[in-house]
Amino acid sequence: MSKLIGIDDAGRGPVLGPMVLVGVLVESNEEQMIKDWGAKDSKLLTSIQRRELKEKIVSQFEYHIEVSEPIEIDESDNLNYLEAIKTAMIINRLTKDLDEPVKVVIDCPSVNISSWSNDVQKLIEKQELVSLVCEHKADLNHPVVSAASIIAKEKREDEMGKLRKEFGKDFGSGYPADPKTKEFIRDNFNNPRYKKIIRFSWNTVKRLVKEKNQQSLFQ
């Protein structure tokens, strides 16, 4: 038997809340079991299906979660490189006690797969053991990546739920096109209380701030 790690993210595109990356470690012959459970790209599952699958996965397999808060995203020079760092951190954590080869399959966030793979490779501690496979749509094609996708999506939803409860606000999904999200940003971007949940480096936020400031000038 050989080891296999699948890695995927959730919350890369939103303007509110964290980005979550997850890695799941399995034996290669256990992938079929994950597929038989019905695991697939988390976006293709209902919330109930996702929750049930997440519980099965975390009870059966070793996994690791890395969360990037908005301030860390804003302070990074390059989101792709931040994700490469977090991906390598997951690989290093899950391979820490391994002394056998492991194949790592990643749903690549960059259009330049080769360059991004090289960034990750340089940050891996046990390079002699790790074989990287970076693909677009890996969460559709590899059950172990689907498993990572499911945990990541559930973790992102849990974090957003905590924020809604903490602030007592319905700010929608956190995605740029969501009217509730845009309204929340427009009304609260200059409120220090909400600074930790807004990604100020996002163009959507910059545009909404500019529009609000221009309106204020003419009132």
* Res 215: pLDDT: 65
Q: Which residue has the higher pLDDT, 208 or 25?
A: 25
Residue 138 has pLDDT above 50, yes or no: yes
E-strand ranges in the chain read: 3-10, 19-27, 62-68, 102-107, 130-135
- For 146-180, write each residue's pLDDT tens digit: 999 999 999 999 999 999 999 998 899 999 999 99
Question: Which domains, ranges and CATH numbers included, belong to the chain?
Answer: 3-164 (3.30.420.10), 169-217 (1.10.10)
Backbone angles phi, psi at 129, to 5 degrees: -100, -20
* Res 99: pLDDT: 94
Q: CA–CA separation, 67 vs 69, rounded Å?
A: 6
Q: How confident is the model at residue 218 (pLDDT cuts 50, 70, 90)?
A: very low
Residue 71 has pLDDT above 70, yes or no: yes
In 3D space, the residue among 15, 20, 37 whose CA is nearest the CA of residue 184 turns out to be: 15
pTM for the model: 0.94
- State the average pLDDT over residues 22-48: 94
Average pLDDT of the chain? 94
Residues 6 or more apart from 197 whose CB is under 8 A from it? 16, 17, 70, 163, 167
Share of the chain above pLDDT 70, in %: 97
